[in-house]
Amino acid sequence: MKSLAARFARCVNRTFGRRGRVLAGRFRHVLKRTPTEVRRALAYVLLNARKHYRQRRRRVPPVVLDGASSGLWFDGWKGRRPPPGRYADADRPPEVAAPRTWLLSKGWRRIGLADPPEVPGG
C-alpha cells in the first residue's frame, strides 16, 4: 500500500506541478494477534458502511451488504447472508483469497460469527 501511495503521489504531484504528500495517513499496518482482534477487523471491513449510514442519518441502517466489500463471498455470517446492496454484483467471480492462517480461517469464529444487523464500533 505504501509503495502504491508513493507512486500515486508522484504522478499527482507531477500532473499538478506540486510537492508533498497526497495520501498522508491513509494506511496503518497493525498485526492482529487474537481471535477478538480478527473478529473486530472482519466486522469493520464487512459492515463499516452500516456505521457510516448511522452516523450520517442518525437512524438504524438497512441490513444489506456494502457493494464495495467482500461480504458477497464471506462464509462467516450468523444466519443467512444479508441481501446484496445497491452496487453489489453477486454474479461477478469471487475477489477474495482463501485464509492462510488459523486465526483467519477458524480462530475468530470462536468469538462469534458476523451478525448482519451489527454496527461496528457501536
pLDDT in tens, 98-110: 899 999 999 999 9
Indicate if 23 and 71 belong to the same structural domain: no
Domain count, the chain: 2
Length of the chain: 122
Indicate if 118 and 68 belong to the same structural domain: yes
Indicate if 72 and 46 belong to the same structural domain: yes
Confidence band of 38 (pLDDT split at 50, 70, 90):
very high
On whether the pTM is more than 0.95, the answer is no
- The average confidence (pLDDT) of the chain is 82
Indicate if 62 and 24 belong to the same structural domain: no
Q: What is the chain's alpha carbon radius of gyration, rounded to the nearest angstrom? A: 17
Indicate if 63 and 21 belong to the same structural domain: no
Indicate if 25 and 85 belong to the same structural domain: no
Which are the contacts of 34, defined by CB distance < 8 A and separation ≥ 6?
Answer: 103
Indicate if 24 and 42 belong to the same structural domain: no
Q: Quote the domain boundaries for residue 104.
A: 35-122
Q: All 3 cell numbers of residue 7?
A: 507512486
Mean pLDDT of 76-98: 76
Hey, which of 8-17, 21-30, 43-52 has the most confident mean pLDDT? 8-17
